Structure 1
Amino acid sequence: MSFDAGAGWDGTCSPAGAPIPSDAPASVTYEPPTLGACTPSPAPEPLPVIATFGKACGGYIGQPPEGYDLCIQTRSDGSCWDDYPEKREFTEELIDNRSCSACECGPPAGGECSADVFLYGDAACSEEIAASEGIGQAETRCADVSSPSPLVAMRAELTKAEPGSCTPSVSTVTGTVEKGKMHIVCCAPRRSPTNQTLTYTCPRT
């Protein structure tokens, strides 16, 4: 007969589905405790897209406001004008279709645990019939059992609980970042209030 408290049992008082009659068992085999599986972390998010965003204001003539540049369309062949030598490329939008694969954990290893197991003749775990102490991971223990009461419930207490570790999987990124319609403009170098050319590096991110 098998008395199984089910996966994830934490040792609290667990009644049997049906009591085992007192004249049924002559001995009880105590199965060893096992290390529980590791719980993987939620799937991470892909690293953010690093990009330079631009906002165009049409029809402006003169010195642009702070933080803006004076730009015009390219020549028909796509080249820039001498007075507007800095080429900038922008897309209308970025569509991020990337995702990360789920994280997984390998089997647990390196831990150590042992438990005391108690058998009871009532569902409240107050009438003890038998007990087996210090059952280790690599030990299956058999003990004689004799009681006028049926076997109704069991309980366990961990006496040693040293957690093991699991080897994690490596999450990988799938999918791509799609670019929308491309816009190319030619921009004039930035100038100081006195109209002197400033040293300026166009962002290329």
Structure 2
Amino acid sequence: MRKRLVVQVVVSLVLGCSAPPQTGIFECDPDAPFPSEFCKAQLADAGLDAAPEAGAFNPGPTPQAGNTCMGKCVPVPSGGAGYWSEVPVSVRFARADALPAACPEDAPNEKFRLFDQLVAPPAECEACACEPSEGTCDGEPPQSIEIRAGTCAESAAVSLPFSGPAGWDGSCTSENGLPAGASCGGELCAQSVLASALPGPTSESCAPKSAAPAFTTTREWKLGALACMANTHDDTCGESANKRYCVADPGPEFLYCVHGKGVTEPCPDNYNFERYEMYPEEPIDDRGCEACECGAPVGSGCMGSLRLYSDGACSLEFEKSSISSIDEKCIDVHPPGRAIGAKAVTDVTYFQGTCSSSGGAPKGSASPNKNSAITFCCRKSHWILR
């Protein structure tokens, strides 16, 4: 059997008399198409054509001149489980950002460009925000209006009802009107008017400015694989009981590998130096952001105008004051004791508030597409100097 020979080479560097010799280990490959003169001599001296060791691979006769493998003769996969490609490929494994843009000239056909060690952080989501609130006011007047025998600054004062009739819609009414000079226990009755708060809005809410917030994602593969092929010819590797293929031998950075689809069974016995599970560049990626939501409106309400008239027909207005659903409203009457013959509530409208936002947290993840995985099982290159 022809065996590899590992030779220790001692090199003295002309660095000065005291410099120690440099020592390296070089592996001479009997299958190399053009072994160096040094390796030829070492292989011959070692008797590498001696009887094979038990269980060792017999590469067969050396190809004859004129029908020579210009790359590397490697065996078909044997042993192990699962299905593996019969024809090996030359594969370079490197940092993904350092992979060559194309295969080398002596193996110009790109078979695979695959990746592993995915780094895919969660999505970066824009903050959720809400539009101003929207709602409706039905135009109802305050539930109660009183004429008080005291100014707004007096907390305790005699009061008379001044609300409208049952079911009042805020239109002009002389209900409970009071003539000028009316007396309440020795005090002028018409010194102030107190109206309760307007009824609040109904059907109000805030809409998210964006139901799904905008987001960005990034990803990076740390490891890449470039698998290259030349035209393979098994008839250039000589006659052998064990079939061998001539594969491209682009250099020491490439390994000879068989491949199988998916994350497959253990590697073949004669291709178990290194194993890689590699994936397409596009991962399975469902990263995104949770939907935005808005809370209850704050600071919104209804507002309108309370109008007071001297006459009962709402033609002589002497006061117009803003009222709202936020709080009651007290209006001092000038001059005190004047006639208050009628009132009306007009221009009831909704004013907007704000809503707090929630949601928009990152969700989902990115992962390699295992359904499209390719597993490589590799022999070590004969380009070894260690």
- The interval holding the TM-score normalised by the smaller chain is 0.3 to 0.5
Instruction: Report the structure number with the largest CA radius of gyration.
Output: 2
Pick 1 or 2: higher relative contact order, CA cutoff 8 A, min separation 6: 1
TM-score scaled by structure 1?
0.43
The structure with more helix, counted as a fraction of residues:
2
